[in-house]
C-alpha cells in the first residue's frame, strides 16, 4: 500500500498533467476505403476548438489543441487564438503537411528536384510564421518522403537534402520555439522512408542543435519494437520532445491510446516518470494523434485522455524504493512484482477523486453525454469537415 503522502503527491501530479488533443481527431476521417461521415462534426477550425473545449471542460487536463496546416488554415490566426482563449484553450503544436500535393510524388524536402524542395521548405517556414501568430512553441514535422522501389533514388543524397531543409527551418525558429521531428517506419513509402526510426531522427536533431527534439508516435514502429527503451534513451539524452499517442494492432492504426495495449502505455509512462519526463522544465508534450473513424469523436478523445491518465497514475504508484532495492539485489522476480503491483492497481477511484477535487464530474464520458453537446452539434452543424485525408 502506498503511503498517504505518496498518494497525495500522485494526486497533485495528475492534476497538473497536460494532454494536447489534435484538431483532426474532431473531424471526419477514415481509411483509403471509406470515410464515414458523422453528424455534427466541425465545419472549420473554430468549431474543432469548440469540441476540444468540451474535452477540456470534462477532463480538466486537455487545454491545448494541435493544428495541422493546411487543414486548419485560417484567415486570421490571432482570431483563432482568441476563440481558443475564450474557451479556456491555447493553440498547441503546428503540424506541417508536405504529403498531400501532387508535387510531392517523389518526396518533399528530399525530392530530387530543387524546385519541389523549395516549395516544401516554403511551407515549413510558413508554419513558423503561423507559430509566431498563434504563440505556439512546437513545430511538428513528419515527412512522408521515401521511395517505393530499390534503386529509385540515392539514400544518402536524400539524407543530405533533408538535413539542408531542416537546417533552414531550424535557423528560422524564434526564441522559445522548437522543432520536433517525427519518424515512421513505413507508409506511404514502402521501400525506404527518409526518417524511418528514432536513430535517424535523433541524428538529425543532434546536428541541428538543442531546439530540435524527437517525437515518438506510438503507432510508428514495427511490431514488437520496445518503445519504452526508445523513450528512456531519448529522455536520458534530453531529446524527447513529444509523444503522438495512439494505439495500433497492425500498422499506423491511429486507434485510441491505451485501447490496444494498456500495458505498453504503462511501461512507457513508467520510463517517462523514471527519467524525469513529467518535470515541467523538460517540456515533453503529451499529444494525441488519433482518428475516430467509426466511434463518436468527442467521447473517444475524452476516453483517450482518461486512458493516458490511468497509465500515468499506475506508473506514479510504482514503489521506486522497493524497485531500486530489488534491482540492486538482482532480485528479478521482486523487481518485476513491484511493477506489476502498480500496473494491477485499479486507479479509477483515485482519478475520480482527483476530478472531484478539481470541481469536475468523476466520470467525464457520462458527464459529456449528459451535457447535451452532442445533440446540439448534430442539430446545428450541417456538412462537417473531413479531417484532411482518406477521401
Q: Which residues bind ligand LRH (CB under 6 A)?
A: 95, 142, 182, 184, 217, 244, 252, 289
Residue 228 interacts with Mn ion (CB under 5 A): yes or no: no
Residue 255: count other Cβ atoms within 10 Å of its Cβ: 20
Q: Which does 385 bind (CB under 5 to 8 A by kind): Mn ion, ligand LRH, none?
A: none
Buried b (16+ CB within 10 A) or exposed e, 331-349: eeeebebbbebbbebebee
Binding span for Mn ion by CB under 5 A among 63-71, 288-296, 337-345, 350-358 = 288-296
Place of cell 506510438: 218
Residue 92 corresponds to which cell in the numbers above? 498547441
Helix 332-343 vs helix 320-328: crossing angle, to nearest 10? 160
For residues 95 and 312, which CB has a smaller minimum distance to ligand LRH in the complex?
A: 95
The closest residue (CB) to ligand LRH is 142
Shortest reach from residue 140's CB to Mn ion, in Å: 8
Look at strands 192-193 and 146-147 and give their pairing. Answer: antiparallel
Number of residues that bind Mn ion (CB under 5 A): 4
Of 136 and 374, CB closest to ligand LRH: 136
Q: Which of 10, 9, 21 is nearest to 305 (CA)?
A: 21
CB of 328 to ligand LRH, least distance (A): 39
Contacting range for Mn ion; rule: CB under 5 A; set: 56-64, 106-114, 152-160, 216-224:
216-224
Whether 180 and 204 have beta carbons less than 8 Å apart is answered as no
How much is the CA Rg of the chain, to the nearest whole Å? 21
125-164 footprint of Mn ion as x/- string (CB under 5 A): ----------------------------------------
Does residue 252 belong to the site contacting Mn ion (CB under 5 A)?
A: yes
Min CB(182)–ligand LRH separation in Å:
5
Binding of residue 20 to Mn ion (CB under 5 A): no
Cis peptide before 70 (omega within 30 of 0): yes
CA distance 317 to 327: 17
Please identify which residue in 244, 271, 310, 385 interacts with Mn ion, judged by CB under 5 A: 244
**Minimum distance of ligand LRH from residue 117's CB (angstroms):** 19
CB-wise, 83 or 184, nearer to Mn ion? 184
Going by the DSSP 8-state scheme, the letter that residue 384 receives in this structure is P
Which of Mn ion, ligand LRH, none is residue 111 near (CB under 5 to 8 Å by kind)?
Answer: none
Give the nearer residue to ligand LRH in terms of CB position, either 127 or 278.
127
In the bound state with ligand LRH, the residue whose beta carbon lies nearer, of 218 and 374, is 218
Residue with cell 515512421: 184
- DSSP codes joined into one string, 112-141: SSHHHHHHHHHHHHHHHHHHHHHT--EEEE
On whether the CB atoms of residues 15 and 7 are closer than 8 A, the answer is no
**Does 217 engage in binding with Mn ion (CB under 5 A)?**
yes
The helix-helix angle for 297-316 and 262-274 (nearest 10°) equals 50
CB of 142 to ligand LRH, least distance (A): 4
Minimum CB distance to ligand LRH smaller for 256 or for 350: 256
**Which is nearer to ligand LRH, 191 or 324 (by Cβ)?**
191
For residue 26, the SS3 value is helix
**Interacting partner of 319 out of Mn ion, ligand LRH, none (Cβ under 5 to 8 A depending on kind):** none
Give burial (CB, 10 Å; 0-12/13-18/19+) of 303.
buried
Sequence-separated (6 or more) residues with CB below 8 Å from residue 103: 111, 116, 119
Q: Which among Mn ion, ligand LRH, none contacts residue 95 (Cβ within 5 to 8 A by kind)?
A: ligand LRH
Kindly state the smallest distance separating residue 99's Cβ from ligand LRH, in Å.
Answer: 8
Whether residue 124 contacts residue 171, with contact meaning beta carbons closer than 8 Å, is answered with no
Cβ nearer to Mn ion, comparing 184 with 381: 184
289 touching Mn ion, by CB under 5 A:
yes
Give residue number: closest CB to Mn ion.
244
Residue 220: CB minimum distance to Mn ion, A: 6
What residues make contact with Mn ion under the rule CB under 5 A? Answer: 217, 244, 252, 289
Amino acid at each position: 500500500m502506498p503511503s498517504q503522502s505518496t498518494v497525495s503527491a500522485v494526486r497533485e501530479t495528475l492534476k497538473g498533467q497536460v494532454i494536447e488533443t489534435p484538431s483532426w481527431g474532431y473531424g471526419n476521417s477514415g481509411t483509403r476505403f471509406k470515410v464515414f461521415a458523422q453528424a455534427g462534426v466541425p465545419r472549420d477550425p473554430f468549431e474543432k476548438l469548440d469540441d476540444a473545449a468540451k474535452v477540456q471542460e470534462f477532463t480538466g487536463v486537455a487545454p491545448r489543441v494541435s493544428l495541422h496546416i493546411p487543414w486548419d488554415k485560417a484567415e486570421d490566426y490571432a482570431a483563432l487564438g482568441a476563440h481558443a482563449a475564450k474557451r479556456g484553450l491555447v493553440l498547441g503544436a503546428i503540424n506541417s503537411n508536405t504529403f498531400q500535393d501532387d508535387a510531392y510524388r517523389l518526396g518533399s524536402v528530399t525530392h530530387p528536384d530543387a524546385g519541389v524542395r523549395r516549395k516544401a521548405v516554403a511551407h515549413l517556414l510558413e508554419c513558423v510564421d503561423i507559430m509566431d501568430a498563434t504563440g505556439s512553441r512546437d513545430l511538428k514535422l513528419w515527412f512522408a518522403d521515401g521511395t517505393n522501389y530499390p534503386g529509385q533514388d540515392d539514400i544518402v543524397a536524400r539524407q543530405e537534402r533533408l538535413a539542408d531543409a531542416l537546417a533552414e527551418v531550424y535557423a528560422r525558429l524564434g526564441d522559445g520555439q522548437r522543432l520536433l521531428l517525427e519518424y515512421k517506419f513505413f507508409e506511404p513509402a514502402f521501400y525506404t522512408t527518409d526518417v524511418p526510426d528514432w536513430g535517424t531522427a535523433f541524428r538529425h536533431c543532434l546536428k541541428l542543435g538543442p531546439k530540435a527534439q524527437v517525437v515518438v508516435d506510438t503507432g510508428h514502429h514495427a511490431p514488437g519494437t520496445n518503445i519504452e527503451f526508445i523513450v528512456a534513451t531519448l529522455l536520458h539524452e534530453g531529446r524527447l520532445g513529444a509523444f503522438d499517442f495512439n494505439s495500433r494492432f497492425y500498422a499506423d492504426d491511429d486507434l485510441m491510446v491505451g485501447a490496444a495495449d494498456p500495458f505498453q502505455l504503462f511501461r512507457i509512462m513508467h520510463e517517462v516518470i523514471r527519467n524525469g519526463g513529467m518535470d515541467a522544465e523538460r517540456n515533453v508534450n503529451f499529444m494525441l494523434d488519433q482518428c475516430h473513424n467509426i466511434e463518436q469523436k468527442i467521447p473517444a478523445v475524452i476516453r483517450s485522455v482518461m486512458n493516458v491518465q490511468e497509465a500515468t497514475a499506475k506508473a506514479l504508484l510504482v514503489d521506486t524504493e522497493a524497485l531500486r532495492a530489488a534491482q540492486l539485489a538482482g532480485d528479478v522476480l521482486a523487481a518485476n512484482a513491484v511493477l506489476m503491483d502498480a500496473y494491477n492497481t485499479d486507479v479509477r477511484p483515485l482519478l475520480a477523486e482527483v476530478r472531484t477535487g478539481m470541481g469536475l464530474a468523476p466520470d467525464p464520458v457520462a458527464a459529456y453525454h449528459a451535457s447535451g453537446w452532442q445533440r446540439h452539434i448534430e442539430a446545428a452543424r450541417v456538412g462537417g469537415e473531413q479531417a484532411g485525408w482518406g477521401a
